[in-house]
Every structure is written in C-alpha cells, then in structure tokens.
Amino acid sequence: MSIIRNILNQNSRSEEGGNFFIQIKKILGFKPKDISIFQTAFTHRSMNKRDENGNPINYERLEFIGDAMLSSIIATHLYNEVPFGNEGYLTKMRSKIVSREHLNELGKEIGLINYVKSKIEKDNFGDNIHGNLFEALVGAIYLDRGYRYCEKFIYNKVIIPHVDIPKLEGKIISYKSLLIEWCQKEKKTFKYQVYEDNGNDDVKHFSVKLHIDDKIVAKGRATSKKKAEETASKRAFFVFQRKISKSILS
C-alpha cells in the first residue's frame, strides 16, 4: 500500500508542479499532504477558476480560516504567557500581532507573492496582497494538516521571531485610533478635512488636514484617504506625544 501511495503522490506532484511542491515544503518546514489546497491558497480571483459545481477557486475563503486560526493560536499564547493581562489588554496585544500591517510584513518576508497565480501584474497589487496570502497559507495548513501543524507554523513564523511582549506593549498600530481616544478622553474636538490636491503625480493622491480644537495641527498626503488620515495622525501624535503618553499610554 505504501508503495502505491508513493507512486500516486509522485504522479500528483508531477501533474501539479514539482517545483511548487518543493517551494511550499521549504516554506512550511514539512510536507504538504494535498498540494491542491496550497495551489488554491495562491490563486487570485482574477484567474476566474471554478470547480465542477461552479464554485470559485481562489484564496479568499482560505483567508477566512487563516484569520480565525491566527486569532485562536495567538490568543492562546498570550493567555498562557501573560497571566496578569485582562481581557482588554489581551485583545489589544493580539490586535498588534495580527494587524494588517504586520501580516503584510510577514507575507513579504516569506516572499509569498512570488507564488501567486493571477492575471494582474504583481506590481499592480496593493500591500494587502501579502497579508492576504499569509492568512490563506495558514488556512491551507489547517485544512491539510490540522491544528498542531498550523500551531507549529505560526510559532515558527510569527511568535518566536516577532512576538516580544514588552516591545508590543509600546507599539502603536493606529495613530488615528490613539489620537481619537485621546481627544475623546480630554474632551477635545477633532476633524479630518480632505482638501484639494493639485499635485502632478500620475497616481491620484488625497490630502487631509487634521483639526483639533478648531486649529490645524497636522497634514497628511497619501494614495488613499485612510492613509492620509493616518499620516496626519502620526504627525499630530509627535506634536502632542508627551500629553498623549501621560494620558493614554502611561
């Protein structure tokens, strides 16, 4: 039986692409059982692939599972490692670890975009593609190998190299959220105002003025309104850093 199984596995690998199997094995640190799950984890919706029942084949559903597994495993680690942390503290710490920014960094670090199949040029993807692929990969590991292998992968790729509790405590994942929290606590008025951008860039940019107590305290400019607001918030944070740290971060 083992000989027949090996022959079938070898045939499967040659049909699905031996090089992809080798690369995925190298990333995971163990052999995948069903390589087709991992192929789905790297298939973009632009490929318009469907199964025999007409259901779409791409990584988006695997993202859903990967997100849940990351949350569960990181939550368990924090629960065990930080016995003094209450629910609010643990939630904040988990959010910092599984933030979109951090997941994007993890996806880039592993080079996952190099394996994606898409009809869109890689240069035209936004940063979130890296985090999406990372979540999809975690989801594929869970479906292919189960919880323990998924946990092992997250420990090796996320927790051991990147989770430093003292550093995470001081990490700010959203300057806008922090600034709004401070304004609300100190009963200050705030407003983000989008104004006309007359720049000559090929890509459209948004410019934002941040008003606090009816005074312009910072400006931000970026390729999206959300990013421009975050830039303005970060600049405002450094203007009020001492006051915010005393009020919110201490």
**pLDDT tens digits along 232-243:** 999 999 999 999
Active site includes 67? yes
Which residue ranges make up each domain of the chain?
2-169, 175-249
pLDDT at 48 over 70: yes
Lowest mean pLDDT among 4-13, 26-35, 87-96: 4-13
Active-site entry in 63, 67, 144, 229: 67
**For the domain 2-169, what is the CATH code?**
1.10.1520.10
Instruction: Name the CATH architecture for the domain at 175-249.
Output: 2-Layer Sandwich (3.30)
Lowest mean pLDDT among 46-50, 112-116, 152-156, 220-224: 220-224
Q: CA triplet 183, 189, 195: central angle to 5 degrees?
A: 110
By three-state DSSP, how is residue 163 classified? Answer: coil
Residues 6+ apart with CB under 8 A from 122: 113, 116
Burial of 39 (0-12, 13-18, 19+ CB in 10 A): buried
Within this chain, domains 2-169 and 175-249 share the same CATH topology: no
pLDDT, averaged across the chain: 89
Lowest mean pLDDT among 14-18, 101-105, 180-184, 196-200: 14-18
Active-site entry in 16, 60, 121, 135: 135
Active site includes 123? no
User: How far is Cα 19 from Cα 250, in angstroms, rounded to an integer?
Assistant: 51
